Copies of this chain bind each other. A is one copy, B any other.
Amino acid sequence: MKRTTYCGLVNESFLDQQVCLQGWVQKRRDLGKLIFIDLRDRTGIVQLVFSHEFDPAALEVADQLRSEYVIEVAGAVVRRSDAEINSKMKTGTIEVEVHQVKILNKAKTPPFYIQNDINVTDDLRLKYRYLDLRRPEMQQAIILRSKITQAVHRYLDEQDFVNIETPYLTKSTPEGARDYLVPSRVYPGHFYALPQSPQLFKQLLMGAGFDRYYQIARCFRDEDLRGDRQPEFTQIDLETSFLSAEDIQKITEGLLQRVMKDVLGVDIKFPLPRITWDEAMNRFGSDKPDTRFGMELTDMAPAVKDVDFKVFQTVLEKGGQVKAIVVPGGADKYSRKEIDAKQEYIKRFGAKGLAWLKVTDDGFSGPVAKFFKDSVDSIKQTAQADVGDLILFVADKRKVVADALGYLRTSIARELDLIDKSKFNFLWVVDWPLFEYSEEFHRYIAAHHPFTMPNEEDIGLLDTDPHQAHAQSYDIVLNGFELGGGSIRIHQRAIQEKMFKALGFTKERAEKQFGFFLDALDYGFPPHGGLAIGLDRFAMLLSGKENIREVIAFPKNSKASEPLTNAPSTVVQKQLDELGLEIQDD
């Protein structure tokens, strides 16, 4: 038998025709003389009917069928009786009267149902990933991801990008995240590293004159995992020569437009909104603002600077900020206890407290309301707050204020369901600082990476006050997530050397780690720049998922292991000996 169509595609246009179908038994209803089977493949489900009347032998086989058996059937497409019509199913008006059936494979009872709603641990899903992936929502997510990549290939091909593969076995450059290492057998004691990104190779390809490069590239980072991190992840990676930041953004917008149209049928308005990093931090307290809702941060200094409330006064005198967000109708929605919990939470951002006012008909209520009783109007006006609203204040250094209020803004919007989930708000955040201070490492690190070009007018600052410089970099943000980022790169050795110096590299260290690249810059590199988009995150957002594991066929779990194959695993001594390695004693 040859399959004539897929289960989910059988519709009334097939009425009274013979079809041959192959797929999995989703469900069996045995009415004795009549057996109904829901047959499933990647396109959906169709109802099969077996009856003594159509074929006694087929009915006998149907009697043996169990969930997830693989079968092939031939039969006639007929209209369902009115009682059997299921308007929720694509194929709900027809069924297939089976006159021939063959069991292609049997199946043990699966550890969970093959349906969207299951209530099992993530590790059980991953251990039986081949079953988990049979569930319609997983099928759809993986197919959506495939559609994204297809749109990317088509668009970038049309834009004359050359698809070039860069190596996965390459040099360890211990800068930024931790490398995964691969021991060399030919050179014992030496290691390749898996790339954290193709950054240097794509720049070398610009040096090689390819003009426009792209790759859908796997990247590897051995970091502690969070919800949206995986040891390996995928980037839509592109690089161009001779183009401005705006040119590159325009190409990217075309790419996003194509993906949204091809994958979701959604038209996105272009050009996309652009705000500077400064503005994003000021208005949203975030460098990746979710603009699907309001609740922006307001500078309250004008309204409170003369109020006799010591906390605010002290902060303002030290050059700090007093800012607030207004939770619409929040006065009734949050108890003192709930607000206290939020105050506790934001301590992780360095915030020492959370002042709050509920706007009442009579002014303000709340523990500090008495201090502000003479400024009700000016505060309400400045914050644009109305009766029934809750005003949350944070007073501190700029970064603390932004982090704390930025967090409160998005977490409260989620709690109160203020976000229109049908929206896809893309946004450019531009003009980033070149460096940021790392509390973890107690030094300045590159805000993006060490190859980012400073703004033309800031190049001089590299010699005098590098950490004030801003960069020709840009992030693309979608619904509050950093979807991707890029920059114009440094293409001249002298500037690259200053950059390494500003990052605290000695000349020797820069030479040892990046000497080959500095040398390359001596040989006529063109001005160039590019961008990388996180494919996993993009697919996650477009499929409405909340974890990138849901759009990766075989992800690692939160402990970086793969419950299906049990990787990582021990190896035999011979393998270690060939690599000249020993396991350290505990």
Contact = CB atoms under 8 A, between A and B. Distances in A.
A156 to B, nearest CB: 9
Interface stretch (A146-154, A310-318, A403-411, A453-461): A146-154
Nearest to A207: B130
Contacts of A441: none
A106 to B, nearest CB: 7
A565 B171 contact: yes
A572 interface: yes
Contact of A131 (B208, B568, B583): B208
A131 B23 CA distance: 54
Contacts of A330: none
A524 B24 contact: yes
Contacts of A179: 575
A456 to B, nearest CB: 13
B524 A107 contact: yes
B105 A524 contact: yes
With most chain B CB atoms within 10 A of its CB, the pick from A134, A181, A205 is A181
A432 interface: no
B178 A185 contact: yes
A32 interface: no
Nearest to A208: B133
A142 B210 contact: yes
A575 B145 CA distance: 35
B567 A192 contact: yes
Nearest to A567: B171
Contacts of A205: 130, 133, 553
A581 B578 contact: no
A520 to B, nearest CB: 5
Contacts of A578: 178
Contact of A526 (B22, B108, B208, B218): B22
A571 interface: yes
Contacts of A191: 568-571, 575
A568 B520 CA distance: 19
B218 A168 contact: yes
Contact of A72 (B166, B193, B242): B242
Interface in A1-51: 3, 6, 22-24, 40-42
A569 B524 contact: no
Contact of A104 (B201, B522, B527): B527
Contacts of A180: 169, 182
Nearest to A170: B567
A321 interface: no
A169 B230 CA distance: 11
Central interface residue in A129, A130, A153, by most chain B CB within 10 Å: A130
Given A187-B568, A583-B189, A174 B575 contact: yes
A211 interface: yes
Contacts of A183: 181, 183, 568
A187 B561 contact: yes
Tallying the copies of this chain within the complex gives: 2
Contacts of A556: 167, 169
A491 interface: yes
Contacts of A580: 583-584
Contacts of A572: 174
A510 interface: no
Contacts of A518: none
A526 B70 contact: yes
A165 interface: yes
Most buried by B among A23, A522, A571: A571
A194 interface: yes
A183 B561 CA distance: 12
Contacts of A570: 189-191
A492 B555 CA distance: 26
A434 to B, nearest CB: 21
Contacts of A184: 560, 568
A174 B68 CA distance: 32
A576 to B, nearest CB: 8
Contacts of A566: 171, 516
A163 B149 contact: yes
A152 to B, nearest CB: 9
B209 A24 contact: yes
Interface in A101-135: 104-108, 110, 128-134
Given A22-B242, A105-B525, 20 more contacts: A22-B241, A24-B209, A24-B526, A41-B209, A42-B211, A70-B526, A107-B522, A130-B520, A146-B164, A153-B153, A164-B553, A165-B218, A167-B562, A174-B572, A178-B185, A187-B561, A191-B575, A201-B553, A218-B218, A581-B584
